[in-house]
Chains A and B, each alone.
Chain A
Amino acid sequence: MNINFNIAPKSNFITYYLKKIMEKEYKKLFMNMEEVNPSSKLFEKIMLRISREEKLVIVKKRIAVFSVFLAISLGGFVYSFITVQNAFVSSGFTQFFSLIFSDFNIVIAYWQNFLFTLLESLPVFAMIISLVMFSIVLGFLTFLMKDMKFINSNNILRKKYGY
């Protein structure tokens, strides 16, 4: 369509109408502009990324909670460890055990009595509590390490893509 704008009468209605035609033409032109197709897996990548971010939120909350529990259980473990240490000393186990080094031959000669002495003076309940506390600390630590590993891998990906 060849219209010389300078010759045509200049009324608002005509100008508006001509501009609309022009817009239609450009619209028709841009319809020929091809869409660039992304890789076939972009959609999956996006959804995967969103689900990873969702998991990140959960993991961060979990880390906060587990850290508190870890601190408490660590305190409990330290206390139980000190209790075990005291229990070993007060029961005489440490003193009995030291006889292996000072009187090895006699201890071997009366090994059954020595063994019974050791077993009877073993502070079993204090040890059990200490080991339970240690297992709890280890458990929380393991969960925390796993979550930290996930966050670390996420950070590496963020750095790689410059975000």
Chain B
Amino acid sequence: MDIKKFFDSKIFIVFFIIGEIILLLLAFGIGIIIGSKKADFSCNMDKNYERNFGGPNIPGDLNGDLGSSHGIFGQIIKIDDNFIIIKDSNSTEKVISVEGDAAIKKFRDTIKLSDLKVDDRIVVIGSPNDNGEIEAKLIRLMPSPPSGSNDPVNNANNNENLK
């Protein structure tokens, strides 16, 4: 079968259209799944807001996109026993639960939770729980950015300080 003829044929156009529809539906389906996970997480965060952050949920505080429910990249603002509170580039705060199976990494070394301190920048991968927390599986300590660089976390902090 001549490949050029196949690409010019009507059958190819039909297959192409069907393929496009499949891709569209796939993307739509993935979007639905991710959206529902985010929705669950935000619901749990809202339910447990007082417990996690020690104060009532101020209307408008948890507005906008809450970011990923399976990870966060941000700055440590508080370390409490096995909990870390992180603020990301959107100034959204999330509670990270650090259990025994969580790997904490700095460069090639494995470190302990006690080695982390406030203002450290970390990346966390985990899974959301019913308490509106992210159970960390991997925490990586990121090096501090050079001064004057376009760092989103720093920019978020600066914006807050200006307010």
Asked if A and B touch directly (CB within 8 angstroms), the answer is yes
Identify the A interface with B (CB < 8 A). Answer: 86, 89-92, 95-96, 98-99, 102-103, 106-107, 109-110, 113-114, 116-117, 119-121
- A residues in contact with B62, CB < 8 Å: none
Task: Say which residue of A92, A102, A120 sits within 8 Å of B38 (CB atoms).
Answer: A120
Interface contact A103-B68, CB-CB below 8 Å: no
Report, as a range, how many residues of chain B touch the other chain.
20 to 34
Given the contacts A92-B72, A92-B88, A113-B71, A120 and B34 also touching, CB distance less than 8 Å: yes
Q: Which residues on B sit within 8 Å (CB–CB) of A116?
A: 34, 37, 68-71
Known: A92-B73, A116-B37, A120-B34. 15 other contacts (CB 8 A): A90-B90, A92-B68, A92-B72, A99-B123, A102-B140, A103-B103, A106-B137, A109-B137, A113-B126, A116-B69, A116-B71, A117-B68, A117-B71, A120-B67, A121-B67
A18 to chain B, nearest CB (A): 79
- Residue in B68, B69, B72, B123 with the greatest tally of chain A CB atoms within 10 Å: B68
Smallest CB-CB separation from A102: which chain B residue?
B140
Q: Tell me which residues across on chain A come within 8 A of B73, comparing CB atoms.
A: 92, 95-96
CB of B131 within 8 A of chain A?
A: no
